[in-house]
Amino acid sequence: MGKSAITIMLPIFFASLGGLFPALAGTLNIALEGLLLFGAFSSLTVYYFTGNVLAAIISAVIAAMALSLLHIFCAFLLKAHLFISGLAINLFSSGLCVLLSDKIFDTKGVINSGSIHGLLNWYIILGIILLVVSWLALYKTPFGFRLRACEKSEEALVSLKIKPQWYRAAAILISGFFCGIGGSFLALNLGAYVPQMSAGRGWIALAVIFLGVKNPLGIIAASFVFAIAESFSNYAQGFWNIPADFILAIPYVCTLIAIIVTAMMRKQS
């Protein structure tokens, strides 16, 4: 069950680590779900035609960041509401994957590229590296100080003629980078693209950000808690004689309880 939990954890971890940057900048990128899905589709498509894992991962990152740029264009240049723009990106990503799948593969269903061995260990190493780099960038660089000041001291930034919107836009672009990696793991680890395979992981990532108290180390712990709960629910279906819907709800119930407990503890402190 441990390996299964890590497999479940990684896409959520990458998405929540990316979503941490906008959260610390005083906003939320609710387009994480769509970014994960488009990253998954792009990586599988490139791997299907090239057989190159690195090219597949790079294509997923580029695709998710391109979608993030569209989000930034709508929200910051066209002045659309940030949440409405994020929801639109999620819907657009879902529809675009269906359209491209139909045009490229002549199917709207599963796209199979064959299994790829040995990916998990490499993604774990990459996750550790990105965790360290993210912590250093957020807490040990001028960029990180200014990014976090967007939420806590926006007036101070403006007085220094620093535009908080530029940092918020950069944070959303960074979240696209991380979601591209998370999406590539979803598809390449499975060796297939399945419609809607992000399956709510982007929304869970938003909860993980707050459950991890907006801290990179907290995020990895919160991601693992959810992954253990989901792994247990998958395992429990084989020996619990209760409706599967109740069992599948276990990870979401655990996440909700954890968020409530965390909120109560922070309120008391």
* 3-state SS assignment for residue 239: coil
Q: Residues 128-146: pLDDT tens digits?
A: 999 999 999 999 999 999 9
Element (H, E) at 111: strand 111-112
Task: Give the per-residue pLDDT at 243.
Answer: 63
Residues 80-88, mean pLDDT to the nearest whole number: 93
Residue 223 has pLDDT above 60, yes or no: yes
119-147 per-residue burial string, b: 16 or more CB within 10 A, e: under 16: beeebeeebeebbeebeebbeeeeebebb
Write the pLDDT tens digit of every residue in 89-104. 999 999 999 999 999 9
68-80 mean pLDDT? 93
Whether the predicted pLDDT of 207 surpasses 80 = yes
User: Can you read off the two tokens belonging to residue 19?
Assistant: 């979503």
- Say if CB 100 and CB 41 are below 8 A apart: yes
pLDDT in tens, 230-261: 777 666 665 666 665 666 666 667 667 766 76
Predicted local confidence at residue 210, as pLDDT: 85
Q: Exposed, middle or buried by CB within 10 Å (0-12, 13-18, 19+), for 57?
A: buried
